[in-house]
Structure 1
Amino acid sequence: MVNHREVTVNGIQMHIAEQGTGPLVLLLHGFPESWYSWRHQFQPLADAGFHVVAPDQRGYAGTDKPDAIEDYTLLHLVGDVIGLIHALGEREAVVIGHDWGAPVAWNTALLRPDIIRGVAGLSVPPTRRAPAKPLSLLEQRFGKGFYQIYFQEPGVADAELGADLKDTFRRFLVAASGDGAAAAPVVPDGVTGFLSTMPYPETLPSWLTEADIDAFAAQYERNGFTGGLNWYRNIDRNWELTAAWAGAQITPPAFYITGTRDVVRTFGMPGFIEKLPELAPNLRGVLDLDGCGHWTQQERPDEVNAALIEFLKGL
């Protein structure tokens, strides 16, 4: 059974969901998600002998939402992971992240290898430091309509995504899945809004239920989308703050899971799987799920769970 409570981490109240006993495994969600994204992982990982904890990360769902945009840098997010480990009374943990949670996990392992005994990323791989501020490079490549550029203006995407929560999650989750259209998320010229690029699905795919849509929507009634969008608004700031780690490698044991229809692969990362050992020399394996889209652990839970348990037990 999944239990819920709040813990104080770095001055904010953080909601966590947890199950099981044993070595600590943290599950870090992405955008626009919450602890609920890991609903299929709790029981299998707990049964395998682990204390599974999935927080609502800073600004999301049941966790506090600081007001200042600059309170959502990667250093804040990594700090929250370390703070949570300590708040749970542990000295070390394995971190597993999906989507935005993956860069948080990779960077926590990079910055604190003394605490992180293993790291796994779903969807988003570790990447080399960009040669210039990332947002300018993304705009040059994809144009001003690229979703990460669209998300920059405070209040705009916040209002659009928050106008009808159920509609937003229905469109977003299906569009970026293996059952949707795996195209680069770019708002075409003359089109108003990000959600207009995502068709309204009358029927949900087998991995997603009406109850799931309701759950996500209910969790977002408190904080809306601004906290999560503020993560995007720190992309260039993160690039500046992490300059000291340019060229550094992720040294803890690592694992990576991706899907062949993940929209992230449309961002242009040729040969990125083959290059992973250069960034994470202790890479234990890669699982590439044929036909899987962006919501890896939700779309293909059985395969993801089996791979994660094998990785965890091998540490």
Structure 2
Amino acid sequence: MELPVGIRERYISGVNGLTVHVLEAGFETPKRPVILLLHGFPELAYSWRKVMLPLAAAGYHVIAPDLRGYGRTTGWDNRYDGNFATFRTHELSRDALGLVMAMGHDSVYTIVGHDVGAIVAAYCALVRPDFFRSVVLLSCPFGGVPPLPFGIGEQTAPNQQQKQPVQDPLASLPRPRKDSTTYFSSPGANSEMMNCKQGLHDFLRAYFHVKSADWSQNKPFPLSSGLAEELAKQPAYYVLDLDKTMPEVVAPNMPSPKEISACKWLPDKELDVYTQELNRTGFQGALNWYRCNTNGLNRSDLELFSGHTIDVPSCFISGIADWARFRPPGALENMQQGACTQMRSFHIIEGAGHWVQQERPEYLTKVIVDFLQNVK
């Protein structure tokens, strides 16, 4: 893995059963405040390569791990039939806490999460505000803690709850559909993506392309409700036809050779890093987190904190072409209206889609550094 000078690789063992692969910058100076960077799907610690050195130059020890289920971090179960509960948000948060402690720190100045990493970062800030002193969420808003489902115990025995995935309401539409989370939770998703007709490299190229600002059809807007008819207004990479795989959905939007050549934020040489790592690990470890969503495990963990809010200084950043900020409907508004009680910074970045730390790294770094200057 070719990295900019000043970023080094390390392996930290004994972290919640894992040996964690870490990239870090700003390690030369001891006792610096820590910035912990958590990537999303289907990314790696490598996705932060463009922001790590500028953040280190601002005076921080910057740590970016491969999450459980990804990259060169080992010790996780990559089977579909394994114990997928070990991939729920609670466990990924334990990984984050344990990693930082294992590296000799007693707090994190700010935890920055993108996509899946934003869900984990929000959970960390919610449950351990003493350790995670501030939070930056990229793309995915924190819509608040769900209420406790009073009365459910009278209808269903505790040992029978959440055994089966919740039925996707999109499947009942006249044109049957499914959410991407439903697809990623399915038994065949890993094989379908690994063995797709166009090959893994071209699948990833198309997937990164359609969720970026390079794809001109990304013009997101807030949805009025969570009804299936409204959810179906999202792009096909978020709401797939029921009989389609993700590679089949993105294939028609494969960028042209000219567009690929013009893609400076993710040239083929850098995309090859993702391709090589996924060829080795597959997707299943990463996909198991989605199963914890569709089976209700992530929600049930959150319910323990029903009534709580994120009370540390918070920042939200998204690309203007990123649909994720409107998923699920209402989450963005809930976050702004009180789920994060100290929302001090809110930015929508022009010229960026979902991959904001790769598409607009310079602007993103400036926003984060400016936010951190007001964190006490």
The aligned residue for residue 280 of structure 1 is 340
Separation in 2 of the partners of 1:71 and 1:95? 21
The aligned residue for residue 115 of structure 1 is 131
Residues 178/189 of structure 1: CA separation in 2 closer, same or farther (3 Å cut):
same
Separation in 1 of the partners of 2:53 and 2:266? 18
Query: Which one has the largest radius of gyration?
Result: 2
Separation in 1 of the partners of 2:121 and 2:356? 16
Is the contact between residue 10 and residue 23 of structure 2 (CA under 8 Å) also seen in structure 1? yes
Unaligned runs of 5+ in 1: none
The aligned residue for residue 158 of structure 2 is none
The aligned residue for residue 269 of structure 1 is 329
Amino acid at match of 2:210: A
- Deviation (angstroms), 1:274: 7.1
Separation in 1 of the partners of 2:280 and 2:56? 29
Is the contact between residue 142 and residue 332 of structure 2 (CA under 8 Å) also seen in structure 1? no
TM-score normalised over the length of structure 1: 0.92
Residues 189/111 of structure 1: CA separation in 2 closer, same or farther (3 Å cut):
closer
Is the contact between residue 162 and residue 168 of structure 1 (CA under 8 Å) also seen in structure 2? no
Q: Deviations over 1:210-260 (max 9, x none)?
A: 111111112223211111100100011111122111221001111110122
- Deviation (angstroms), 1:63: 0.7
TM-score normalised over the length of structure 2: 0.78
- Deviation (angstroms), 1:263: 2.1
The aligned residue for residue 106 of structure 1 is 122
Q: Deviations over 1:56-84 (max 9, x none)?
A: 00010101232421110111011001101
Residues 71/270 of structure 1: CA separation in 2 closer, same or farther (3 Å cut):
closer
Separation in 1 of the partners of 2:338 and 2:92? 24
Is the contact between residue 35 and residue 60 of structure 2 (CA under 8 Å) also seen in structure 1? yes
Separation in 2 of the partners of 1:66 and 1:189? 28
Separation in 2 of the partners of 1:26 and 1:141? 41
Residue 13 (structure 1) aligned to one of 12, 15, 19: 19
Is the contact between residue 144 and residue 331 of structure 2 (CA under 8 Å) also seen in structure 1? no
Separation in 2 of the partners of 1:255 and 1:193? 34
The aligned residue for residue 66 of structure 1 is 77
Amino acid at match of 2:272: D
Following superposition of structure 1 onto structure 2, how do residues 135-214 of structure 1 map, counting pairs within 5 Å? 135-136=166-167, 139=170, 144-154=177-187, 156-163=188-195, 164-180=199-215, 181-182=217-218, 183=235, 185-190=238-243, 192-198=244-250, 199-202=253-256, 203-204=259-260, 205-214=263-272
Unaligned runs of 5+ in 2: 1-5, 150-161, 219-234
Amino acid at match of 2:200: L
Q: Does 1:259 align with 2:319?
A: yes
Q: Does 1:227 align with 2:285?
A: yes
Aligned residues: 313
Residues 4/57 of structure 1: CA separation in 2 closer, same or farther (3 Å cut):
same
